[in-house]
Copies of this chain bind each other. A is one copy, B any other.
Amino acid sequence: MNDTIAEGWTEQARPPALFRRFAFERYAQTRAFLERVAAVQDELGLAPQNISFGTTYVNVTIAASGEGGLGEAERELARRIAAAADACA
């Protein structure tokens, strides 16, 4: 069994959430990433609980969407967001 629900993300227990900070060199990359994250949200029908950003960083918090805690839906959202960051780096 793999205890890591989403590689590269920090898992918080109470309340269940995934957190990750993405850093970029330029604001254009940050904005491109935010646009990709919005597209991912639309596609999956699931949004991060909070996105906090400045010109060259984006902090993403994904909370559990159901009572069962973090599951496959959150893991997929995290994976897709990380892929979006790779595409903008």
Seen from chain A, the residues whose Cβ lies within 8 Å of a Cβ on chain B are 27, 31, 34, 38, 47-55
Minimal Cβ-Cβ distance residue in B for A27: B47
Copies held by the complex: 2
Complex CA gap A53/B65 in Å reads 17
Minimal Cβ-Cβ distance residue in B for A55: B47
Minimal Cβ-Cβ distance residue in B for A31: B38
Given contacts A31-B38, A38-B31, contact A51 B49 (CB under 8 A): no
Minimal Cβ-Cβ distance residue in B for A58: B51
**Chain B residues closer than 8 Å to A48, beta-carbon distance:** 54
**Chain B residues closer than 8 Å to A53, beta-carbon distance:** 50-52
**Chain B residues closer than 8 Å to A50, beta-carbon distance:** 52-54
Minimal Cβ-Cβ distance residue in B for A34: B34
